Structure 1
């Protein structure tokens, strides 16, 4: 009997060591991105930890349906596994399965009321379901739990900027910038709020900062051109519009805006040149469109 006990213990030890070795091999494969082989190795190990890693591996290689099934298996076996639910909910959002994602994050916010991430992702699900009031409420809950939650601050700031609710927009923008002073998205929103409020002089350095931080987009030059013009900085306005025309010389509005700068400088001949260019571009677009519509 004693010998049988010893043999049983030895066999269990050997099995545990083999599983540990197999798990180490699987983890190594996962770490270096060899996900398909990692899946095979995790399958040999078994257990919920391996099942979660298999879900992550399927997610990494883009086999989202299998990843979701694997996450669901883990959750079905262990309903307290918040990490598996979080990762599956985020993947469901990525797959545009918003109702299912909402269900996952609703459950998470109920079992863990202190996690701002769960509130944020529930807000994302509601936003994509066009449940705007609900989503705003979730973002605000996230901020009440963590006043530095940048993504929630951005979503609120963006919403109120679009709605032209200046005070509310600035409230969340400045909260974010207080912690993340170089966040280009918030700086951009700050500039847009001031621009929309016709505070062009204050908007200019913010748009310039957006460019410095690498957001080299056409709309920034467009807003800067208008702001420079309004602020009587004609040289800079022309430079901004020149950049836009180098990128796209078929935009009639850019020619009209440039003409406006020359008009304010009382350089009417130059203004006329750019007005004519704008009209020529519009005529060309009209003729091209007309020919497509009436082509036999």
Structure 2
């Protein structure tokens, strides 16, 4: 009888294991065809929940943006088996990603104490500290390098720290260490170029920036740095070409037009120089009356009529032809000034300028208030 029960139990477990394997295969297939929700629902119904089921659910839910559910499944696995280091890492990284910084801090602190020679744990702990605005973060990045002098992430953090704190030569050293292992690390190439620029070694700054362009990193920031390096080292044609690339990104950049003007003067292309200097001047002098008007309207809505009045005045200083600002100034004064004569003068200034050519609705408002103010002033006398 005991043997029969044992056989039945073994058969039951085998059937359960076979059923779970089939569910996992089906879930994988559904997920690969973009049916994420169906795959997750299938695994949620699968019983009992083995570690493998929990981990598969955690992976699918994390990729599907269901982070809280994924965290619960990682936690379930770790509750059953705290020694699953890879699962702990996945759990910790998701805690970091979702802003559960205290839990992530605790987890990676435990791991780094338990496995002190593992550079990755010190690095992740540094990332947590950094997100917590904890100034000790850099200590963990340096500790990471002491365990693994090729660790790319930690070398980037260390180099960036030195550059930010006015130690470009230290930053250069860290970057070169990392680039020996991964020559195409764009983060380190960027810091290296900036460090050479910061230490006025513009000739050496050029190769990292050029390599970044070849790797597809043609941001406005990198192009500006490269253009300046070319300009300072008197590589005028390359500088002009790079500044033109910047204009393709933003043709309203005053500094770029000014630099192109100066470069064209050096190459005796006077007409081109004049064109770019003129563009820089026009952009710089472009009125911002609309912005002042809009700010004034926001203050008006908040019933801060004094601030509204000041902004409408600023709009008119930028552009005396702004009809809306002229009327809105009178309206703000109407709500703010005690001197009705002064308010009347502002409405009349609007009518004098736009009484024949302005917008009908605005003219009507001004005329109505002029009539009322005259009556109120007369009665007060």
TM-score, length-normalised on structure 2?
A: 0.71
SS in structure 2 at match of 1:46 = coil
Match of 1:214 in 2: 216
Match of 2:3 in 1: 5
Distance 1:285 1:224 in 2: 31
The answer on whether the counterparts of 1:23 and 1:41 sit within 8 Å (CA) in structure 2 is no
Q: Could you tell me which of 280, 283, 288 is aligned with 1:281?
A: 283
Q: CA deviation at 1:266?
A: 5.3
Structure 1: runs of 5 or more not aligned? none
Distance 1:290 1:81 in 2: 60
Matched, 1:249 2:247: no
Distance 1:29 1:285 in 2: 61
Distance 2:106 2:19 in 1: 38
More displaced, 238-247 or 160-169?
Answer: 160-169
The answer on whether the counterparts of 2:43 and 2:57 sit within 8 Å (CA) in structure 1 is no
Alignment of 1:30-109 (within 5 A): 30=28, 32-33=31-32, 34-39=35-40, 40-41=42-43, 43-109=46-112
The answer on whether the counterparts of 1:204 and 1:224 sit within 8 Å (CA) in structure 2 is yes
Which structure has more RCO (C-alpha within 8 Å, separation ≥ 6)?
1
Matched, 1:26 2:28: no
Q: CA deviation at 1:237?
A: 1.0
More displaced, 222-231 or 265-274?
Answer: 265-274
The answer on whether the counterparts of 1:262 and 1:270 sit within 8 Å (CA) in structure 2 is yes
The answer on whether the counterparts of 1:30 and 1:57 sit within 8 Å (CA) in structure 2 is no
Q: CA deviation at 1:265?
A: 3.8
Kindly report the root-mean-square deviation, in angstroms, between the aligned alpha carbons of the 2 structures: 2.2
Match of 1:111 in 2: 114
How many residue pairs align between the two structures?
293
Structure with bigger gyration radius = 2
Seen in structure 2, the aligned counterparts of structure 1 residues 194 and 165 have a Cα distance that, compared at 3 Å, is: same
Structure 2: runs of 5 or more not aligned? 296-311, 313-324, 329-381
Matched, 1:126 2:124: no
More displaced, 4-13 or 227-236?
Answer: 4-13
Distance 1:93 1:206 in 2: 32
Match of 2:176 in 1: 174
Distance 2:26 2:203 in 1: 56
